Amino acid sequence: MLRILGTETEFGIIARSPNHPDPIDNSLRLISHSPQLLAPNALWDYENENPYFDARGFEVAGEPERPGTKYNRQLNKILTNAGRLYVDGAHPEYSTPECSNPHEVVAYERAGDMLVAECLASLNTSVGHDEFLVYRNNSDGKGNSFGYHENYLISRTIPFTHIGKVLLPFFVSRPIFCGAGKVGAENGTAPTSYQLSQRADFLECEYDLNTMVNRPIINTRDEPHTNQTLFRRLHVIVGDANMCEVSTFLKVGTTAIIIDMLENQGVLPQIELADPVKTVKQVSRDLTVKTSLQLKSGQHTTALAIQHSFLNAAHEFYTTRELSPITKEVLIRWESVLHRLEQDPTTLKREIDWVAKHALIESYKDRKGCSWQDPRIAMIDLQYHDIRPANGLYYTLERTGKMERLTHDEEIQRARQTAPTQTRAFFRGACLKRFPQQVYGMSWTSILLESSNGRITRVPLMDPSRGTQSLTEELFQDIDSVDQLLSRLAQ
């Protein structure tokens, strides 16, 4: 599986005392403690960014972000691995560099979590106590949701309406294996003790450009960060920020398979839900994963049946195509997880967040004799996502061998320090390592390099599949200056 993909995680940040009431200021303080920045004064280049283009063929009113130089440096930290740590709205946010497969995404997400945890530790040391807390989740429990976004490069030859029609039922049913688990309900939705997804209550329409209000199942942002005549970037905002590596791997891997099928005219299920927005909340509240969901035809199905139909279509699609090891692993895990969800969801407590968290809470309830409404239960929900390795309940489970790992610690450390080799991120990362003082700025589509005469040159990186190690490694051999690199690029 070779596909350009990556994720963005918005973290929840809390101050214990009323002395720090501004989450924007708190977020800026957090990322200012980023360790080991090679180019701490580098700017983020907003030249090719405009989030106001809609994939349905129009542009909405709005002013693209263009912060001044000083504030740009406060907002953005360009990372050694060619990713980005920044403040978006009122949240610290980490973007992985462009990855080439779902396993790589898992490793680079874990690297981002480690980085943010180090920032937090440094910030709290600077104030003398644990004043700030940071969570990798999607809700503060008080009616506010913050996002986790997946990004997939996809050919522009496929009509967006077709993409949306295929993905609506897939996204609605996907939380059965990639929900992060949530205590209670929010956003004026029907009450429940526990549900699969943290984002479901905040989804309010089928299609829209917004990400913070009127949140859609299918986001229509058309900001490809590449050649817009050839590609679009599918910007997915419905997913939860998972802690479990298997959940993340399946969430990204299965979606990438569906996109592969879309691009190659694979036969995909034709499923039309009667009310997708209502249905996503039904799915989230169904711990049996077998509740009846109404189709537009008047017939009924289940989330499990929808996922089985996509899995069966994928098996059929790949019978005549060569399978990469990663694609094969996604298919095997997808099938295994669906089978065990059908038989007994509790058997997945080592792999799926909502199952692991539910088991943890049930164990606590049994020991303490408390109800779902007990405030300690809400605290367990939150503490599961605490990014401090010594404090987070997920990390406690992981340390004690109760969660399945797909990555190892050395791989995560490598993802902290090096960029992926099979995307344009490699070239940006190589420039950062070789010429950190000459990197004036960076974006997904360019790197700005300062020559010895002070001239700033923008090196365009519009094709995410170029700038790879195999294509650009030789450019850096036997040179010791940006001038030499630019000279080679000009040849």
Looking at the annotation, which residues are catalytic? 88
- Nearest-5° Cα angle at 248, 242 to 253: 155
Q: What CA–CA distance (Å, rounded) separates 380 from 221?
A: 35
Q: What CA–CA distance (Å, rounded) separates 2 from 359?
A: 36
Residue 397 in contact with residue 386, Cβ under 8 Å? no
Sorted by sequence, the CB contacts under 8 Å of residue 336 that are 6+ apart come out as none
Residue 57 in contact with residue 156, Cβ under 8 Å? no
Sorted by sequence, the CB contacts under 8 Å of residue 272 that are 6+ apart come out as 165, 169, 295, 296, 297
For the chain, what is the radius of gyration of the CA atoms?
22
Instruction: Give me the DSSP letters along 436-451.
Output: GGGEEEE-SSEEEEE-
Q: What is the four-CA torsion angle of 289, 245, 386, 347, rounded to 10 degrees?
A: 40
Residue 97 in contact with residue 418, Cβ under 8 Å? no
